[in-house]
Amino acid sequence: MTVTRERFEQGMTYDEYKAQMTRNRDRLEENERTVELSTDDIEFFASLPEPLNVLVITEDWCGDAIANVPILGRLAAESGKLNLRIFLRDQNPDLMDQHLNRGVYRSIPVFAFFDQQFRPIGRWIERPAVITEMQEKMLANLYATDPAFADVAPGTSIAVLPDAPRARLMQAFAAFRAETRLLADREVVRELRELIGQWLATRQEA
């Protein structure tokens, strides 16, 4: 997980990224406008001992990226301590392959944090862990209790799922996304603070 200053500087600024988006810019900007950041969150980032470089890997078609990149954008704008450079996943495989989710998946967005000397601090990928866990539980509960899934094995491909359980699954996912939006936003910030907090603790010990 390394990047040179020269390679980092080849990325787009957040505003440049937004300007070149071909889809979902309205959704991204709506999320940027409505994400609720506490004063404590802003102060945490604003009081960092040095500005951090944040390498962001994203694409404008990705739902998780449209939800989570603007949270980072707001934190950067309001704290003045995060120097973002944005790279498109499919045009930068050299960077993407350094940040595979569980070593396998090209999940985005990726937020990779570096200090002023480009020493790695840590990285955050895709979505908050608690949201992934809640989604898995929601699915398990649906399969266990909804009559539409009576004869359907968990994990059955949508391609071979009958119409009734498929419709229920789509409804359940839509409801889940709506119900967890605020929690998901808060968890993104909390996980980023935790990641940087660990670096701060290590730094103080050194």
Partner 1 sequence: MDIDSGRHPPKIKIVYCASCGYEPQTLELVSALMHAFRYDIASIEIIPWQDGAFDVAVDGELIHSMYRDGGFPAPETIIRAVRERLAR
Per CB under 8 A, residues contacting partner 1 are: 59, 61-64, 90, 105, 157-160, 166, 173
Q: How far apart are CA 155 and CA 178, in angstroms?
A: 23
Q: How far apart are CA 122 and CA 105, in angstroms?
A: 18
Residue of 48, 12, 15, 40 lying closest to 121 (CA atoms): 48
CB 155 to partner 1: min, Å? 8
| Count of CB atoms situated within 10 Å of the CB of 23 | 11
Q: Which 3 state secondary structure label does DSSP give 97?
A: coil
CB 28 to partner 1: min, Å? 13
In the complex with partner 1, the residue whose CB is nearer, 39 or 157, is 157
**CA torsion sign, 98 to 102 to 107 to 111?**
negative
CB 6 to partner 1: min, Å? 28
Task: State how beta strands 52-58 and 82-88 pair.
Answer: parallel
In the complex with partner 1, the residue whose CB is nearer, 117 or 157, is 157
In the complex with partner 1, the residue whose CB is nearer, 60 or 185, is 60
CB 126 to partner 1: min, Å? 11
Q: Which 3 state secondary structure label does DSSP give 52?
A: strand
In the complex with partner 1, the residue whose CB is nearer, 43 or 179, is 179
